[in-house]
Structure 1
Amino acid sequence: MKASLWMSAALTPLLFGLAQPVAAQDADDQPTQVSEIIITGQPVFRNRTEDVAPTLSYDLEYFQRFEPLTVGDALKRVPSVAFLSDVLESDGVRLRGLDPGYTQILINGERVPGAGVDRSFFVDRIPAELIERVEVVRSSSANRSGDAVAGAINIVLRDAYTLDGGYVRAGAMRFDDGEFRYTGGLTFGGEVGPGRLLLGANVQDRYNPKEKFSIRYDEPGGSIDNVEVQTDVRDGTDYALNAAYEVPFAGGELALTGLFVRTERTESENSIEYADGIISNAELETINDNVNDIETDNWSLGARLEREWAYGETTLRIGYAAITDNQFEFEDETAYDPFPSVDEFESAQLDTEIEDTEFSASFAHEIDLSDALELEFGVQYVDKQRDTLILERESDTPGVYPDPFEAITGGDNAIEETRIDPYVMLEGEGGRLSWEVGLRYETTDVTIVDETADPADRVSETDYAELLPSASLRFALNDTDRLIFSAARTVRRPNFNFLSPALLEEEVGDSDFIGNPDLEPETSVGFDIGFERRLGRRGVVGVNAFYRDVTDLIENVVVTDASGTPLEGSEGPGTFVYSVENVGDGEVYGVEFDLSTPLDVVGLENTGVYLNYSWLDSSVEDFLGDRRFNSQSDYIVSAGFTHDIPTWGAAFGASYRKQGDAFERVLAEEVTTSYGEDLEIFVEKTFGENVVVRLTGSNLLNASKDEIFDKFDNLEDQIDRDYDEFELETEEAGPVWQLIARVAF
């Protein structure tokens, strides 16, 4: 943290040293009356942005009528966004179908840490009620972090100039098993002292009851080993607070922002296995109880000072973001021979503590070189500290744990990353053409300390640097049509669990795994080319083709055989040790279509429709040959309509979503995942000018998630198709109904 303190001290004098008058707030930034936000009275569509880089923008009102609980629920209506979550869950964004680690999640344009080992941030941590808009940034620019191979999702929270007034939100949800849950919130914006203040508080219950059923065979088409009947219930509450204050300061405009979200959640899985596929007490093999208590806190604090002076405009930022994830999980399994005679009892407890913090600071300066040419340059600094502690203990006697908790192998480590990223960018326009070009240089120093590794390997240090050029242009063909082209080089940094040098026993089937602290990031050169047309005053239609050439892919490699002898030239079978290296290359490509428009042309100006369709494909060579990027759906489609009845003060609508199959192949396991169709509806009624009530129904088609697992003991068996187990699993949840009311004041 010494570097963090040094950077903070260096920027502090600048925050107070600029002393020229600030320009008045733009008229376009004047706050909106709350009643205009909670009562729309007409269909709401995608924004047509003026950003040169290809960006899709959606205001909260675009999603709000279907009452999404979280940002993840809202993003189901955005082009090319997929999820591989359980039914009724929307956590890790898979932009263009790629793993969540390939998508950069930003809050108010700033990076945020997540608890996952793939560096992703779960967007279901943010209540949808807090957002002002969501931006899908398809290609990178030099003034943003380059961790965006698939693109970036920028979640813009409401700021102090968003609202004038306040409103209360309250509602109830009914689930398919008859359970009720509740939600409520309060939002206020207005003048306080010399500036403007926004405050928001939100509490919402989260509940997800699912039923699962699995059939396990010794191999495809073989005999049934057993079946498993399982209930899986996620039950919890989210608490959120957000605040923003903007005030004239030191000759400029100072903005202070804060966000806190706490998730308290219990995940309970209860399963029973029956031999030979016969569900009866006589064939009952095991009963398993698995409960995980989770408490996750997300913090985000920021200060931004914007200052115009004789030599342009300077923006200084300081930020602190953190996530603490505490989980306590126990699993009890009782085996019978036969039921009710107990043959064996096993119990395990797992205590996990993860803390990931990021201190950031940045300097940016913009200079108008002419009326049509602007230069921007700056530097961004990030100091990340990630501490992981995973403790475990086991028992074969109910209620008795003779051994104390001990750290699991690879479960007691600290990772520190320091980044200093300077950049320069040039933007211009002339006639029908607007453009930007930029160059970013990202440097990363990494230190890894793993207390569970061999003493000689406990401390590892590495560093790398990447030059990331980018360019975008927008060409207006006429008043309604425009072309957008972008090219950018981006990176994906290694997963945290790949960096630890600890040797994990039987991590891959019956084989071991050891991480590689010398991994470098994957890199990508990408292109986007799109066409966009304005339809009337409010509609827009667009099509975009994209391509990513990904190099230095992190893939599994064989290190040694069971005796520790390098495998090259060895024919010895047995337990192998695997690791990961930058050895692969791949391609990602696809076409994205989106339509959002009122039906003015057929006289239905109060009816709005949207249609998103993405065709996705990719290719990568792994240890078994060619495949797509893991778990990439081959298509994503969503469509819907809203219809307003102004004379009744009412509205209704529906939305539909479906994503294609996804296939994943890793060492010793292959998974094919299929999702059912998702249908949502809403009915809305307004009362006067300040009350709106909505009834929404989601998952009305009882969407299921179906998975096929091909499991092997090791790579040799996987190549020979010598199965350890072949499993078919399906999970299903029923409809959810919400009744939500908002009252403006």
Structure 2
Amino acid sequence: MRLKHFYLITAATTVMSAVVMATPVRAQDTPAPAASDTPDKEATSGQSEIVVTGVRASLMSAQQRKRDASQIVDSIVAEDIGKLPDQSTTDALQRVTGVQIERDYGEGSTVYVRGLSQVETTLNGREIFTAQGARGLNLQDIPAELLSGIDVYKSPSANLIEGGLGGLIDLRTRRPLDFNKLTISGTVKGTYADLAKELTPTVSGLIADKWETGAGEIGALLSVSYQERKFRSDLISTGTPGSSTTIIPGRTVIAPNGAYDVTPMGDRRRLGIDGMLQWKPSANLELYVEGHYAKFINLNDNYGASVSLGGLTAEPGAQVAPNGDVVKATYLNAPVSVLSYAYDTRDRMIQFAGGAKWTSGPLSLAADVSYTHATGTVVFNSGFTGATIPRFTADTTTFVPSANANGYDLLSQANTSIDFLLYQGTRNKADQFAAKLDGSYDLGGGFLHSIDFGLRYADRTAQSNQYSFFLFSGASATTAPSILAPNPASDFFARSSQGTPLLGNYLVIPVPLLRDHLSEVQSALGFASTPPANGPLAYYRVSEKTTTLYGMLRFGSADSIVDGNIGLRYVHTQENLNGNRTLSGGGVGPISVNSSYDDFLPSVNVRFNFTDKLKLRLAASKAVTRPNFSDLSPTLTLNSVQLNGSAGNPDLKPLKADQLDASLEYYFSRTGSIYVAAFYKKVRNFISIEPSVETYDGITYTISRPANNQGGTIKGLEVGYQQFFDFLPGPLSGLGAQANFTLVDSSTTSSIIGQTTPLQGLSKYTYNLVGIYEKYGVSARVAYNWRSTYFDSTYLFNGVGQPSYRRGYGWLAASLSYDVTPHVTISLEGNNLTRVIRRSYYNDLDTRPHETQVDDRQIMFGVRFKL
């Protein structure tokens, strides 16, 4: 109710301010024109034209986009064709205030904007997505070399596509009519990963041109990028703690129920292709067609060992911390399960679009029609061997937890059994047809600038098929020696400066056999080749149709003290879900859920231009996002090894938020600014993951299911600064700096009974420090990103939900390039230079380590040219 009052008050204040304050600003305070996202030249008042390129040009353009925007926006602009400031899209986004990222094997993955992962993703203003059960795009799928820039919209306006509680991320590719002449550019780069000990290529190229013809201006562009990256990540996971009476006779202590070590070794490949044709037959008409293709392949070989410790007795002398946690003990007759598995992901997305832009007098219209098709598969092919270790020592007192078999030979076939084979997989597909018409009518030279209006229709489907196949053997390893080999990742954590003795030498079924020669593995074990089968819970299909109307009034002009927009976006959603679900009385039955709802999303963005350099922005809005398709899915997936599983919830409701934003910005030079922003979000129907104990076929599993909770609040503060120190003498004038800090305080009801927790995956504090040097053809950059401890996951402690926290850590990257000629640049870059070890703890207690992980240090070197 208070926010509803705020909307009314803000609207009234805006109109009153317009009457009182709509007087011209002094001539010297007239805002500068918007900069191109590929600025080659910039004129200075009273001086001859000077060339601005590289980092300066990108910072200048990004700053100008923020400065001229009608709402709160942060931008990243490529330094040159094929050159974002960071190696990946997600790594570049982590430099933006208010943005945090999760890391996946040393590479940015999930993106959070102002504390929320519910972020709408668009490509050139068009909705784009990955077919892996989520609504948005896996930003890892898009090669960074294809992008000219990224805009992060933190306060919405009525003309932006709904769906982002945190914000909207728009990826921008280049357009052929932006080039003045035939342009050919390319990049060749090699990347070395020091844990994987592999060198891989990155190649990208662009060709663009435009022609003046008798039929008007025509432009064409083709851009291609291919990346390959090898990686390795060593991970130690200590089992969940629980009460035990068997370790120390007569005493109840708290001990981990197991230990798990695994080494993922992977090969990631990205292919991206962009093509576009533009035709301007006249000054007031433009026609275009464009196509985008992205393919992402992640082939992941995993080798690990899982030791079960629950209920085991131990030798005398177990070390116990003052809080009752067992931190070191030698267990007797510990069963170990050695696993090797292929965990392969393949994403493919293709989008075709066409449209027109037309202007006649005060009226402008823009029509766009698009079709997007995406597929995604996940394959989990695994083989398990087993053994029983007479004396197994687990020690968590060291920085890197260690495990020791005390001389027991796990490389002996006689000591090893072949337990079972497990195949699981998912095939996803998503399609969307979308059409929109946007219009703007210029009201003349008054304070009320223009009326924008539009409509959009989208028809989207998402479907998923899952399969699972299990073959139990139990044979001795001596019966099938041809399918066994020593663990190729036996140097587990050996490259870490904190290396400790661990379980590493054991027999495995090589992953290449499990991936490409399953029939041979099955034959060696005496099984017939049987294809995996779908179960009744393996399929779901969601159909979703949205119809959108919006109207927005723009007010103010270039010489007004107050400008901005006020609008309303109306969205009608129809949704149908079909699949099967488990019944309360047992068994499986069909389910069909139909829903229809309406959302009215008002927004107000007001900018006060106190001077050309000093600006205050205020915004208020409502936002909505729908649950991920996989969260709605009734499917149930069980892991019979770790005795856990996951399922969806077809009854989930959309998430809704009321939002307030403010930003005070001071631009003291073309590349220099300082700003402070504050925000507040009140969210309803947050989705949290709730663990529960369930029994299927006589086996008890811990099942994680999503559920709407009561909601929560997110509030925060952002501070940012950037500058080149041009006033310094000589070579020092090439120095520059960027720095920003974000504080996000969140509170939400939780699946953890009786507790209110921060949002999962959200650090309270983050900061970025970037040092820059650019002069005499040399460009250097050192960037450090740090985030504080955050709530990472939940676990069951004696049947009661408890939190696990990941400790804060920093990430260091650097780059150095030199312009050999005006057209050729050589570069050297490094990522994860300190090879940081990331750690998490149950209940954030030092005596309860959860995960300890180290990723590759990456070194890149290459050459870039432009003709």
Q: Same fold (TM over 0.5)?
A: yes
Residue in 1 that maps onto 2:508: none
Q: Distance in 1 between matches of 2:578 and 2:175?
A: 40
Residues in 1 aligned to 2:566 and 2:209: alpha-carbon distance in whole angstroms = 39
Q: How does 1:219-298 map to 2 (within 5 A)?
A: 219=242, 222-223=254-255, 225-248=257-280, 252-273=285-306, 285-298=336-349
Report which stretch shifted further, 696-705 or 450-459: 450-459
What is the SS of the residue equivalent to 1:396?
Answer: strand
Inter-CA distance 127–515: structure 2 relative to 1 (3 Å threshold): closer
The 2-side partners of 1:271 and 1:510 are apart by 17
* Identical pairs, percent: 18
> Which residue does 2:370 correspond to in 1?
319
Paired position in structure 1 for 2:146: 130
- Give the secondary structure class of the aligned counterpart of 1:219: strand
Is the contact made by 2:39 and 2:52 (CA closer than 8 Å) also made in structure 1?
A: no
C-alpha distance in structure 2 between counterparts of 1:561 and 1:695, whole Å: 53
Q: Distance in 2 between matches of 1:92 and 1:559?
A: 26
Aligned match of 2:554: 427
Report what 1:7 is aligned to. none
**Of 728, 731, 740, which aligns to 2:862?**
740
Q: CA deviation at 1:265?
A: 2.1
Corresponding residue for residue 89 of structure 1: 107
Residue aligned with 2:79, SS: helix
Q: For the Cα contact (< 8 Å) 1:480–1:533, is it kept in 2? A: yes
Structure 2: runs of 5+ lacking an equivalent: 1-32, 42-49, 244-252, 310-327, 390-409, 474-520
Per-residue CA deviations over 1:414-448 (Å, capped at 9, x if unaligned) read 11100001111000105211110000111111111
Whether contact under 8 Å (1:320, 1:360) holds in the other structure is: yes
* 8 Å contact kept, 1:425–1:437: yes
The aligned residue for residue 342 of structure 1 is: 416
Letter in 2 for 1:171: K
Aligned to 2:350: 299
Q: Distance in 2 between matches of 1:91 and 1:560?
A: 30
Q: Hey, what does 1:714 align to over in structure 2?
A: none
Matches of 1:534 and 1:491, distance apart in 2: 33
Paired amino acid for 2:138: F
Which amino acid counterpart does residue 546 of structure 2 have in structure 1?
Answer: R
Give the conservation status (yes or no) of the 8 Å contact 2:185–2:865.
yes
Equivalent-residue separation in structure 2 for 1:133 and 1:621 (angstroms): 37
RMSD: 3.5
Distance 1:130 1:407 in 2: 38
Question: Cα distance 1:600–1:451, how it changes in 2: closer, same or farther (>3 A)?
Answer: same
Q: How does 1:454-603 map to 2 (within 5 A)?
A: 457-501=590-634, 515-554=648-687, 582-603=708-729
8 A contact 2:240–2:795 mirrored in 1 = no
Q: In structure 2, how many angstroms separate the alpha carbons of the residues matched to 1:87 and 1:403?
A: 33
Give 2:457's aligned residue.
Answer: 381
1:588-636: CA deviation from partner (whole Å, max 9, x where unpaired)? 0100111111123545432111001101111112242211122211111
The alpha-carbon distance between structure 1 residues 516 and 680, as it changes in their structure 2 partners (threshold 3 A), is: closer
Checking the alignment, whether the CA contact within 8 Å between 1:445 and 1:462 is kept in structure 2 is yes
Alignment pair present for 1:413 and 2:540 = yes
Please give the alpha-carbon distance, in whole angstroms, between the structure 1 residues aligned to 2:114 and 2:367: 33
Matched with 1:8 is: none
- The residue identity in structure 1 corresponding to 2:292 is L
Deviations 1:469-522 (A, max 9, x none): 000011011221110011110012112233234567799x98998754343311
Cα distance in structure 1, aligned partners of 2:631 and 2:81: 37
The one-letter code matched in structure 1 to 2:427 is E
Structure 2 residue aligned with 1:634 = 764
SS of aligned partner of 1:90: strand
Distance of 1:432 and 1:148 partners within structure 2: 30
CA contact 2:81–2:185 (8 Å) conserved in 1: no
2-structure distance, mates of 1:270, 1:522: 39
Secondary structure at the counterpart of residue 494 of structure 1: coil
Q: 1:516 to 1:298 in 2, by over 3 A?
A: same
Q: Quick one: which of 447, 454, 466 aligns to 2:576?
A: 447
In the TM superposition, what is the alpha-carbon distance from 1:744 to its structure 2 partner? 1.5
Report the equivalent of 1:729.
851
Q: Tell me if the contact between 1:302 and 1:320 (Cα under 8 Å) persists in the aligned partners.
A: yes
Which shows bigger deviation, 670-679 or 371-380?
Answer: 670-679
Q: C-alpha offsets along residues 370-399 of structure 1, whole Å, 9 cap, x if unaligned? A: 224200111111111111011111111352
CA 1:599–1:441 in 2, change beyond 3 Å: closer, same or farther?
A: same
Q: Distance in 2 between matches of 1:282 and 1:511?
A: 24
Q: 1:243 is matched by which residue type in structure 2? A: G
| Amino acid of the structure 1 residue aligned with 2:267 | D
Q: Residue 499 of structure 1 aligns to which amino acid in structure 2?
A: L
CA contact (8 A) 1:672 1:707 kept: yes
Residue 218 of structure 1: CA displacement?
A: 4.1
Find out whether 1:185 has 2:204 as its counterpart: yes
Asked whether the 8 Å contact 1:512–1:575 carries over to 2, the reply is yes
Q: 1:484·1:530 contact (CA, 8 Å) conserved in 2?
A: yes
Q: Residues 210 and 199 (structure 1 numbering): CA distance in 2 closer, same or farther, change over 3 Å?
A: same
Distance 1:38 1:288 in 2: 56
Paired with 1:253 and 1:738, the residues of 2 have a C-alpha distance of 41
Q: Contact 1:54–1:484 (CA<8 Å) still a contact in 2? A: yes
Partners of 2:334 and 2:388 within 8 A in 1: no
Q: 1:409 to 1:639 in 2, by over 3 A?
A: farther
Three-state SS of the structure 2 residue aligned to 1:91 is strand
Change (3 A) 1:87 1:556: closer
| Residues 1:200 and 1:580: Cα distance change in structure 2 (over 3 Å) | closer
Contact 2:293 2:351 in 1 (8 A): yes
In the other structure, the counterpart of 1:16 is none
Deviates more, 1:689-698 or 1:673-682: 673-682
The change in CA–CA distance for 1:416 and 1:709 in structure 2 (over 3 A counts) is farther
1:334-363: CA deviations, max 9, x gaps? Answer: 111354433561211123211111111001
- 1:63 is displaced (CA, Å) by 11
Specify which of 37, 40, 45 is matched with residue 54 of structure 2.
40
Conserved in 2, the CA contact under 8 Å of 1:83 and 1:90?
yes
Relative contact order higher in (CA < 8 Å, ≥ 6 apart): 1
Report the AA paired with residue 418 of structure 1.
K
Structure 2 contact 789–807 (Cα < 8 Å) conserved? yes
Partner of 1:702: helix, strand, or coil?
Answer: coil
In structure 1, the partner of 2:16 is none
Aligned to 2:744: 616
Identify the range of structure 1 (38-47 vs 309-318) with the bigger mean alpha-carbon deviation. Answer: 38-47
> CA offsets, 1:621-672, max 9 Å, x none?
22422111222111111111111232xx223221111111210455746331
Q: Which of 194, 198, 203 is the matching residue for 1:176?
A: 194
| Counterpart contact for 2:131–2:462, Cα < 8 Å | no
Secondary structure at 2:652 match in 1: coil
Bigger radius of gyration:
2
How far apart, in 2, do the equivalents of 1:558 and 1:218 lie? 16
How does the TM-score come out when normalised to structure 1? 0.85
CA distance in 1 between partners of 2:772 and 2:671 (Å): 14
Over residues 197-253 of structure 1, what are the superposed CA-to-partner deviations in whole Å (9 max), with x where a residue is unaligned? Answer: 111111111222111223336439734554433211121221111112110259720
* 1:10 corresponds to: none
**Distance verdict in 2 for CA 1:281–1:402, change over 3 Å:** farther
Decide which of 127, 137, 143 is 1:111's aligned counterpart: 127
Describe the shift of the 1:709–1:415 C-alpha distance in structure 2 as closer, same or farther (beyond 3 A): farther
On the 8 A contact 1:694/1:741 being kept in 2, the answer is yes
SS of the aligned residue for 1:47 comes to: helix
Structure 1 window deviating more from structure 2 (519-528 vs 699-708): it is 699-708
Q: Does 1:390 pair with 2:390?
A: no
Distance across 2 between alignment mates of 1:170 and 1:38: 24
| Contact 2:333 2:388 survives alignment (8 Å) | no
Partner residue, 2:396: none
